[in-house]
Structure 1
Amino acid sequence: MARPLLSLVLPAAALVAAVLLPSGPALASASTLAGISGTVAPIAATDGASWSAGPADGPRRSGRPFFEYELDPGATVEDAFAVRNDGARALTLRVYAADAFTTREGTIDLLPASEQSVDSGTWVELDRSDVSIEPGETVLVPFTLTVPTDARPGDHPAGIVTSLLSEDAEAQVQVDRRLGSRLYVRVAGELAPSVTVSDPTVSFEGMWNPLALGRLEISYTLENTGDTRVAAVGASTVHGPFGVAPVTTGAEQLPEVLPGSTVEVRQLLDGVAALAWLGGAITVIPTSVGIGAAQLDTVVAPFGTAAVPVATLLVLAGLAFVALATVLLVRRSRRSRSAV
């Protein structure tokens, strides 16, 4: 039997993407993700098309920001997706389900219609594949979600999408504007949340002013290698030899990572002294998301990098040159006086 999961995640997001489909020699593409709160979120276009989409209200559920279920393998649940025409003209929209993933930039997106889903996006059977909606009208799209009997335990993220194709005759392209809602399925069973963190890539940028401090850039990847959604907090610390002049980023909230996805993390530390050699570490504290959420083992990845004080060395080299030149001139002057 289906049971709504407690919401322990960030506010819901509507998925809005513009994907160009071939319609001639010119091609381009773009995609964005817009956050929403509430059951529906509007999308408007310059051509007057405007619509909202989200989980439908019912006798025992209302105001849901997204779909979320906890189901046993082989279980089935029925629900509905609501689409409302907020514009002044009639609309015909495609409706389909697709797998969700976390982009390397840290946003959550859905596979485009041109890519085949392989997970929970294939578990959703919609009552229809398109909807025609008059201005001001709301249409419900019933669907059935069936979990395979051999589904692995854990989270299976997906989403339901509405899509409007519009053609740009001058650019010879078709623009696919999409709006949808996330759909999270937690399959019951023994869970194994886990993450991996890559070795950090570190670079130091000094200043030409020998009295100024530099900047350290740290990059690494956070991969969800487990079977649940994962959130994490990360911090980076750097110091000179023997721990002198420490600098830290403090705790930073990292993006939520869906199972099987990887995000790139970049952190900057200003005010770092060029002390010839810098050591430090990144610390990532991951937490599984959803029912039974728990903190995972902390991951610590040390690093070291050269931080040569170029400006200071140039100043010292200049002073040494002046000192050497002065000594040579003094010796030559003494020799000249001795010769006389």
Structure 2
Amino acid sequence: MPFRTRTAVSGAILATAAVLLCPAAAAARPAAAPGAPPGWSAAPAPADGAAPSAQDRPYFYLAGAPGTVMNDRLSLRNPGGRAVTVALRGSGGWLAFAAKEVTVPPRTRATVPFTVTVPPDAVPGDRSAELVATTDGTGRGAAGRDAVPVHLRVTGPVLAALTVENVSVRGRGGAAVIRYTLVNRGNTVLTPRVAVRADGLFGPVLRRAARTLPDRLAPGQSADLTETWDGPPGLDAVQVRLTATAGGGAHGSATAAYTALPWGVVAGPAVLLAGAGGLVVVRRRRRTKGTGGGRGGGPVRGAAGAARPSEGEVADPAAELASTGSGARV
């Protein structure tokens, strides 16, 4: 590999690390590659003593166990006729430059050391970062800015784990929307594939083969996603299952129930029940009216079944008291 690793680097060494400038005569340097953009640029430094060439690394790749400190070098090239001052930083807390700012003389290449410190409790797996160089001048890519990717692998046991969570199905017009969440529960970057199937009361209603999602999931990362289902059944009880897979044997699945009922099926029984309730109320009112007025002309019986005098008759208090079974006995 074109980079070097160290298992331990003391803070004193890092503090005293210096920018390695390589000013050489312009005639001794190779000419700029055809089509190279004008102005300064940043790239991984070539091997010790080697001149830049088209075979140089396009990015940094470093691998180490938790607790390891690794070092490499960034090359800043200034083919212009005046000095350029470049500010340097890493996109992650594991990256540190020997100098945060470097002035590169005209027609000169400067080599700047940096370190990658892997925390002792780091989880094995892949990481991505960038070395970012900025200045007021014109650089590669966006004006005044250049970035070099850093791919880091923390060595150790690799665990690929993927779960499907929060599955739900909602109808929307003539379609349905399936919502779900994918979570990377392992320690390596995953590129998930998702398959969808749905089964109703009378058999399968949806079969969607596994497809690779456009985005990757870093360890611990989650993604809220949707699947559109055109033409779901209009009257059925369906179980929808999503299955996600990824490299390393990662596998996860989850289900959700979806009941499709036309509006008429739902509203009809409700209307009938409401109508039946109204008929019961009316019948009860009519019965109350008929019994309360003595329309039949006969005597009205009380709770104990004894005959009560109708309108115009004189009640016998003694007989009524005896018939109710209450009060004092004589």
Q: TM-score range by the shorter chain?
A: 0.5 to 0.7
2:186 matched to 1:232? Answer: no
- Which residue of the other structure, out of 155, 162, 182, is the alignment partner of 1:195? 162
Matching residue of 1:217: 177
* TM-aligned CA deviation for residue 126 of structure 1: 0.8
Would you say how many aligned residue pairs link Structure 1 and Structure 2? Answer: 227
Aligned to 2:276: none
CA distance in 2, matches of 1:129, 1:145: 15
- What secondary structure does 1:189 align onto? coil
What secondary structure sits across from 2:259 in the alignment? strand
Superposition deviation, residue 233 in structure 1 = 0.9
Equivalent-residue separation in structure 2 for 1:244 and 1:77 (angstroms): 55
Note closer, same or farther for the CA distance 1:242–1:127 as it changes in structure 2 (3 Å cut): same
Describe the SS at the equivalent of 1:257.
coil
Equivalent positions of 1:257-276 (< 5 A) are 257-276=217-236
| Aligned pairs for 1:121-270 within 5 A | 121-122=93-94, 124-132=95-103, 139-149=110-120, 151-163=122-134, 179-206=146-173, 214-248=174-208, 250-270=210-230
Displacement of 1:72: 3.0
C-alpha distance in structure 1 between counterparts of 2:207 and 2:72, whole Å: 51
- Could you tell me whether the CA contact under 8 Å between 1:233 and 1:253 is conserved in 2? yes
Structure 2 counterpart of 1:162, which letter? A
What is the aligned partner in structure 2 of residue 300 from structure 1?
A: 253
1:72 aligns with 2:49: no
- Higher RCO (C-alpha under 8 Å, 6+ residues apart): 1
Per the TM alignment, residue 84 of structure 1 is displaced from its structure 2 partner at its CA by 5.4
Q: Percent identity?
A: 28
Deviations 1:190-218 (A, max 9, x none): 23332332121322222xxxxxxx32222
Q: Which of 45, 55, 67 is the equivalent residue of 2:44?
A: 55
| Paired letter, 1:197 | V
Gaps of 5+ in 2: 5-36, 138-142, 269-330
1:149–1:185 distance in 2 versus 1, CA, 3 Å = same
Q: Normalising by the residue count of structure 1, what TM-score does the alignment of the two structures yield?
A: 0.53
Give the unaligned 5+ runs of structure 1.
Answer: 5-43, 100-120, 167-175, 207-213, 288-293, 318-340
Give the letter aligned to residue 269 of structure 1. W
In the TM superposition, residue 165 of structure 1 has moved relative to its aligned partner by 7.8
Deviation (angstroms), 1:90: 7.4
**Cα distance in 2 for residues equivalent to 1:85 and 1:164:** 12
Counterpart in 1 of 2:316?
Answer: none
**Structure 2 vs 1, CA of residues 136 and 152 (structure 1 numbering), >3 Å: closer, same or farther?**
same
User: Do the aligned partners of 2:177 and 2:228 also contact (CA within 8 Å) in 1?
Assistant: yes
What SS does structure 1 have at the residue aligned with 2:192? strand
Amino acid at match of 1:185: L
Cα displacement (A) at 1:286:
2.0
Give distance in 1, aligned partners of 2:79 and 2:169: 49
Between Structure 1 and Structure 2, whose CA radius of gyration is higher? 2
Which is strand-richer, 1 or 2? 1
